[in-house]
Amino acid sequence: MSTHNVWTHKGTFLLAAVGSAVGLGNLWRFPYLTGENGGGAFILVYALTIFAVGIPILIAETMLGRTSRRSPIMGMRHLTKTHGTSRAWESIGWLGAASAFLILSFYSVIAGWAIHYTGQMFSGALVGADSETIGAGFDALLASPWLLTGYHTIFIIASALIVGMGIHKGIESGLRIIMPALFAILLLVLFYSIANGDIGAAATFLFTFNIADLSLEGWLQAMGQSFFTLSLGMGAIMAYGAYMSSEASLTRTAVAVAFVDTAVAMVAGLAIFALVFGAGLETGQGPGLMFVTLPLAFAEMPFGALVGGVFFILVLGAAISSSISLIEPVAAFLVERFDLTRPKAVGAVTLGAWLMGLLTVVSFNVWAEGTLFHALFGRSAFDFIELLTNIFMPLGGLLIALFAGWALTQSEVMKELRTSEGWFKTWRFLVRFVAPAAVSFVFLRTIPQVDGYLIPTLGAIVIVGAFAAGRTFLVEGSSR
């Protein structure tokens, strides 16, 4: 059954995709990963994957959504039938649903930290505080499972309410308010950091490349991040693509999404590191970077409490416009497959992700060390979940690229792309060969190096699985 739901305007998909893409990935994760991985080298790998792999896959994923006009799982089921390919390709949908679940679970916990800091900033509690006080405040937040769970609950319920109201009344109207405000606030914060921070040091840090600075796991993180930041390879874009007007241009939209998303990450990185260097702080702080160094930088600066509060509102707005796109693909599946009402479907998805989120909550306190996860995988549950998504998203993207590149016929693709022969050939070359090769290269190079026993096994299973699926397809496909 097709939902026949289409966004109100031709340009709404762009708005929704940018809303999904711009999020904690840009404001929180990108700066801290860059800081941990030595700056420029990380950005180089990240930017290369965005342009050579990200944009072609973004087009492919939107295309699969728009041609099938169904939620990712049902959409892939439909496409495998109509194209006489192996059902194994449906794994694109299932893998996506799994990633969405995993991401939503920790995303909501981290977004919860921003709720905490919005309050802290506006109340002026941190004005004039020194680094010890602020560091201790952050540690105290992380040490409290109750506080973390409370914020996590608030955030996930807010996201659920928006998605529960439907794609027009909820998602579209929400985004129309949130997105313009975001860009205004981002510019405000940038100007503030130029005036009060050390923008020169920030630029040097971000744009000086020394590839030796990058560890092997850094490569995987950079690639994972480029998928994460574009919301790629897990069905969010496919779900939104299913509602995209047939009139809108796939290529132009994808380039615009990638451009805006990268620009936001760069601006956020510049602003954050300008404040960090201006206040003489450390760059390699890990996940705490935004939450410790920024409040500290704001604590000492004119109007810091106000601008800081506004900044954390920005973070929350960006986070919620992304979390709704994590709920949508799975919720839409439940509606299509089991005829659930939308509110029920959304409730089921968020309840599941909320429960899973408790694993992230306890990773910062009661289960911070010495758990089963540490014994098996050498890391906390949160780190393990993040690692899984770093693998699942590129893997999903790889499968999407292969399916769109090899299973869709030229006339179908041309109908969607409506482009010149030249760009069609380039795009098809990118999704057929370049994207799969790049993803496999990073996988083969990094996954065996990741410490913890089960990771190599997992990597092997995944790669063998991908080849098996590909072979079945090639065999069945060639008989067409």
Work out the end-to-end distance of the chain between its first and last CA atoms, rounded to an integer number of angstroms: 26
How many beta carbons lie within 10 A of that of residue 81, not counting itself?
11
**Residue 422 CB contacts under 8 Å (≥ 6 apart), including other chains:** none
Closest contact distance (angstroms) between CB of 435 and ligand PHE is 17
Binding to ligand PHE, residues 292-311 (CB under 6 A): none
Closest contact distance (angstroms) between CB of 326 and ligand PHE is 5
**Residue 352 CB contacts under 8 Å (≥ 6 apart), including other chains:** 101
Closest contact distance (angstroms) between CB of 32 and ligand PHE is 13
Find the binder of ligand PHE among 12, 15, 19, 23 (CB under 6 A): 23
Is residue 20 a contact point for ligand PHE (CB under 6 A)?
yes
Is residue 326 a contact point for ligand PHE (CB under 6 A)?
yes
Is residue 49 a contact point for ligand PHE (CB under 6 A)?
no
Is residue 321 a contact point for ligand PHE (CB under 6 A)?
no
Is residue 21 a contact point for ligand PHE (CB under 6 A)?
yes
The Cα-based distances of 372 to 141, 187, 375, 396 in angstroms read: 24, 44, 5, 27
CB hemisphere CA count around 80 (13 angstroms):
23
CB 70 within 8 A of CB 6: no
Binding to ligand PHE, residues 458-477 (CB under 6 A): none
Measured from the CB atom, is 269 or 470 closer to ligand PHE? 269
Which one of the spans 19-27, 53-61, 202-210, 336-344 is the region binding ligand PHE (CB under 6 A)?
19-27
Is residue 349 a contact point for ligand PHE (CB under 6 A)?
no
Binding to ligand PHE, residues 158-197 (CB under 6 A): none
Measured from the CB atom, is 20 or 49 closer to ligand PHE? 20
Binding to ligand PHE, residues 103-162 (CB under 6 A): 103
Determine the size of the site formed for ligand PHE (CB under 6 A): 15
How many beta carbons lie within 10 A of that of residue 444, not counting itself?
11
Which one of the spans 15-23, 117-125, 199-207, 282-290 is the region binding ligand PHE (CB under 6 A)?
15-23
The dihedrals phi and psi of 423, each to the nearest 5 degrees, come to -70, -35
- C-alpha–C-alpha distance, residues 282 and 273, integer Å: 9
How many beta carbons lie within 10 A of that of residue 353, not counting itself?
26
Nearest of 360, 302, 366, 405 to residue 53 by alpha carbon? 405
- C-alpha–C-alpha distance, residues 71 and 44, integer Å: 34
Measured from the CB atom, is 17 or 305 closer to ligand PHE? 17
Is residue 229 a contact point for ligand PHE (CB under 6 A)?
yes
Is residue 34 a contact point for ligand PHE (CB under 6 A)?
no
Nearest of 453, 436, 456 to residue 395 by alpha carbon? 436
Which one of the spans 52-60, 227-235, 336-344, 418-426 is the region binding ligand PHE (CB under 6 A)?
227-235
Which one of the spans 16-24, 116-124, 211-219, 284-292 is the region binding ligand PHE (CB under 6 A)?
16-24
Find the binder of ligand PHE among 228, 273, 291, 377 (CB under 6 A): 228
- In sign, the C-alpha dihedral spanning 118, 124, 126, 128 is positive
Is residue 322 a contact point for ligand PHE (CB under 6 A)?
yes
Closest contact distance (angstroms) between CB of 250 and ligand PHE is 19
CB 186 within 8 A of CB 267: yes
Scan for tokens 């590909």, then name that residue.
470
Interface positions with ligand PHE (CB under 6 A): 20-21, 23-26, 103, 228-229, 231, 234, 236, 322, 325-326
